[in-house]
Amino acid sequence: MASAQSSILRRAGRLVAALALVGWAPATASLQKSAQSTAPAAPLEIHFLDVGQGDAILITLGHLVVLVDAGRGDDIVEVLRDYHVYSLVAAIVSHNHDDHIGGMDAVVADFPIGRYLANGRPPGNHNAENVETWLRRNHIPKPPPPWPPIQLEDVRITVFPSSLANAENPDENNASLGVLIERGKFRALLTGDSQVEELNGWLAAGIVGDVDVLKAAHHGSRNGVTPGWLDRTRPEVVVISVGAGNSYGHPDPWALRYYQTHDRAVYRTDIDGTITVTVDPVGGYRISKAGPVAR
Ligand SMILES: [Zn+2]
């Protein structure tokens, strides 16, 4: 285990060392304008962590931190420490599949957490059961929905339940929580492993609107996107969280074609490594990427 841990630490070190600015999104002018402001404000950073085949999204505003999903393994703890995370305002798990909740038991065991939000379905696997054990042991509240928005100073994070929450048997993917992150005019939407049924439900409920950044649902699979979904959300940037050489065939080539229309910028964690969206107080943003990590 010692060699595995040092490997993780080396990887995490490289991740930060290699972080390089690669481009500016269309709102660059706003970012430059805000830089002239007299009131310094912490940048909002949304890190789509490269955790292989899975999701882990770290949202930071200075020392205020929210984690959405935790990838498959306990190495997420070392990655969080590398980002100087000491506590979490909230931990959110989109749904109970291992590629999202696998590392969450270690996070819940190791970090002070203000609240834990989940879809409320039975754990269904060993990792999810471990999370429940550690939540009780560490007295971390797990309130039921509806949840008030999580406010990190001027950043608002709204967590909404599955559009199929009242359906008799939505499958676990379609029971994913949605997460909307807003600062100034900036909006980003995280969609877990939602599939067409859940996305259509959110559209019908009028919950989602235009966003700047969209996390592709279900690792860029064909059942996670429709032309109607992109017509409504109108993202400028799409991020696909996906592992290199995964056995699922993610991302689907046809889905990729959808995402790449209208000159959208599409980033993939298997190719680009950890992808960071940095947002200023008025909502200007830029994208940076760390480069792929050898596994
Ligand atoms: Zn998944």
> What are the backbone dihedrals phi and psi of residue 207, each rounded to the nearest 5 degrees, phi first?
-75, -35
Q: What is the pLDDT of residues 73-110, one digit of tens each?
A: 999 999 999 999 999 999 999 999 999 999 999 999 99
Which pLDDT score, from 0 to 100, does residue 165 have? 81
| The dihedral sign for the CA sequence 201, 207, 212, 215 | negative
Burial-class residue 98 by CB neighbours within 10 Å (0-12, 13-18, 19+).
Answer: middle
Which pLDDT score, from 0 to 100, does residue 7 have? 40
CB 271 within 8 Å of CB 7:
no
* Euclidean distance between CA atoms 198 and 191, whole angstroms: 10
**How far does residue 29's CA lie from ligand 1's centre (Å)?**
35
* Euclidean distance between CA atoms 39 and 143, whole angstroms: 35
Q: Considering the domain boundaries, does residue 295 fall inside one?
A: no
**How far does residue 248's CA lie from ligand 1's centre (Å)?**
10
Q: Considering the domain boundaries, does residue 294 fall inside one?
A: no
**Residue 45 CB contacts under 8 Å (≥ 6 apart), including other chains:** 58, 59, 60, 61, 276, 277, 278, 279
**How far does residue 149's CA lie from ligand 1's centre (Å)?**
24
Which DSSP helix (H) or strand (E) runs through 253? helix 253-260
**Average pLDDT over every residue of 202-226:** 96
Residue 156 sits in a domain whose CATH number is 3.60.15.10
**How far does residue 39's CA lie from ligand 1's centre (Å)?**
40
**How far does residue 17's CA lie from ligand 1's centre (Å)?**
28
**How far does residue 99's CA lie from ligand 1's centre (Å)?**
5
Q: Considering the domain boundaries, does residue 141 fall inside one?
A: yes
Q: Considering the domain boundaries, does residue 105 fall inside one?
A: yes
CB 56 within 8 Å of CB 70:
yes
Q: Considering the domain boundaries, does residue 143 fall inside one?
A: yes
Q: Considering the domain boundaries, does residue 42 fall inside one?
A: yes
Q: In this prediction, what percent of the chain has a pLDDT beyond 90? A: 79
What confidence tier does 39 reach under pLDDT thresholds 50, 70, 90? low
**How far does residue 275's CA lie from ligand 1's centre (Å)?**
17
Whole-angstrom Cα Rg for the chain? 18
Which pLDDT score, from 0 to 100, does residue 240 have? 98
**pLDDT of 57 strictly over 60:** yes
**Residue 35 CB contacts under 8 Å (≥ 6 apart), including other chains:** 280
Identify the domain containing residue 189 by its residue range: 2-289
Q: Residue 187 half-sphere exposure, CB side, CA atoms within 13 Å?
A: 13
Q: What is the pLDDT of residues 171-197, one digit of tens each?
A: 999 999 999 999 999 999 999 999 999
Centroid of chain to Cα 192: 8
**How far does residue 141's CA lie from ligand 1's centre (Å)?**
25
Give the N- to C-terminal CA distance of the chain in Å, as an integer.
Answer: 16
Q: Considering the domain boundaries, does residue 277 fall inside one?
A: yes
Which pLDDT score, from 0 to 100, does residue 294 have? 75
**pLDDT of 38 strictly over 70:** no
- Say which residue the tokens 């060699």 belong to: 3
Ranges 22-31, 120-129, 134-143, 262-271: which has the least confidence: 22-31
**pLDDT of 244 strictly over 60:** yes
Looking at 111-163, list the stretches that DSSP marks H as alpha helix, in order from N- to C-terminal side. 126-137
* Euclidean distance between CA atoms 73 and 52, whole angstroms: 10
Tally of domains in the chain: 1
**Average pLDDT over every residue of 35-54:** 83
Q: Considering the domain boundaries, does residue 57 fall inside one?
A: yes
- Report the amino acid identity of residue 120: G
- Say which residue the tokens 């304008």 belong to: 33
Exposure class string for 162-184: b at 16+ Cβ within 10 A, else e: bbbbeeeebebbbbbbbbbbbbb
